[in-house]
Amino acid sequence: MSAMAMTTSLRATRSLRTGPVACGLRRFSDYIEIARKMKDTPYNPAVEGEVKCPDYVGWDAAVDADFHKLQTGPWKKGGRPYEQICDSALDLVGFTPMVRMSRLAKHLEVDCEILGKCEFFNAGGSVKDRIGKRMIEEAEKSGRIKKGDILIEPTSGNTGIGLCMAAAIKGYRMIICLPMKMSGEKVNTMKTLGAEIIRTPTEAAWNALDSHIYLSARLAKELNGHVLDQYKNAGNPLAHYEGTAEEIIEQTGGKLDYMVMSAGTGGTVTGCALKLKEKIPGIKIVAVDPYGSILAAPDSMNDKSVRTGAGVGTQYQVEGIGYDFIPTVIDKRAIDYWVKTDDDESFAM
């Protein structure tokens, strides 16, 4: 019996056991006989004066001035390998679906189609799975790391999950340094994937001795480990330039007027923006940055205080976006507009 027939039969079994007639048949044996005669039907789903980046690690594989020299190959059109058994969870990173957000457009009373890219469909649950996979694979190809090495990363959590997943599959010891404000769910996920977690004070500045960035660099030196460094690693924006953006172009047929994306390291928005502007003339890129962060341009937008419904504070609580330094991987020239947001708006999402 085909897998499809078996699935249908099992559904019929549940239906018959609870009383209703399944396909007009009351005897399950009759239904099985019909199911046996069903032809196999393949399943073919539809395809739809700035503060500079810290340099504690001393690794110079940052974004090259000529971005295109860093490309590894042409875009390969395709999709998730639903019709085969995947070799690992890393095969389920990328090729995420898009969805029409019709109710949102109606609620906002805007006469346009709003689309969402469902990055939570990645195996580790976020867009950062793409760079976790890419950075480890690039480091392996260059000979910088080998199975059994210690990998260390400062992160707000999602990049950590992506790295932990890839490290667990490929056989690396993973140490994650992250601020205390990051959610317990992220911590538990990374622990489940075998990572060692070290928490640092949320209020610590990026260049403080107790910051997650400085601690990662110190551990790398003491343990002879490697910091892949999402803030400087070219694999960060390239994962989106060669992957995410190409998917968006394929899924929309290149009919896109604006792309709106929040900014943390800036790798996602930079990689997507550069590719989309090459392929879609006139497209505008909007980046979102929280109050308290200094990423937005012009700098006059960057009020260092944090605005919430409870008043004005000094630390924003939203996770994964905004920084108090400028990561190397962000190219602000590719961004047309910046929008500042606060904790209340972020948490309402």
Q: How close are the terminal C-alpha atoms of the chain, in Å?
A: 45
How confident is the prediction along the chain (349 residues), in pLDDT tens digits per residue?
444 444 333 343 333 333 333 333 344 444 444 445 444 444 344 444 667 776 655 555 545 545 666 677 777 666 665 557 889 999 999 999 999 999 999 999 999 999 999 999 999 999 999 999 999 999 999 999 999 999 999 998 899 999 999 999 999 999 999 999 899 999 999 999 999 999 999 888 888 999 999 999 999 999 999 999 999 999 999 999 999 999 999 999 999 999 999 999 999 999 999 999 999 999 999 999 999 899 999 998 987 666 655 555 557 788 889 888 999 999 999 999 999 998 888 888 7
Same domain? For 326 and 274 the reply is yes
Boundary-marking domain end, from 227, 251, 285: 227
Bridge partners, residue 287, by sequence: 261, 338
Residue 277, both tokens = 């502007």
**Which of 259, 279, 281, 283 lies closest to 269, judged by CA?**
259
Same domain? For 221 and 250 the reply is no
CA 164 to chain centre: 13
- Active-site residue among 117, 128, 232, 332? 128
**Beta-strand (E) ranges in the chain?**
98-100, 115-117, 150-154, 173-179, 196-200, 226-227, 258-262, 284-290, 306-308, 311-313, 337-341
Q: Is residue 56 part of a domain?
A: no
Same domain? For 218 and 299 the reply is no
Number of domains in the chain: 3
Report the side by side order of strands in the sheet with 284-290: 258-262, 284-290, 337-341
Q: Is residue 59 part of a domain?
A: no
Q: Is residue 49 part of a domain?
A: no
Same domain? For 142 and 219 the reply is yes
Token look-up 């879609």 returns 280
Q: Which amino acid is at 201?
A: P
Residue 312, both tokens = 């004005």
Bridge partners, residue 22, by sequence: 25
Same domain? For 99 and 119 the reply is yes
207 C-beta neighbours (distance < 10 Å), count:
13
Tell me, what CATH number does 279's domain have? 3.40.50.1100
Enclosing domain of residue 331: 67-123+234-348
Q: Is residue 50 part of a domain?
A: no
277 is catalytic: no
Same domain? For 257 and 297 the reply is yes
Boundary-marking domain end, from 207, 227, 247: 227
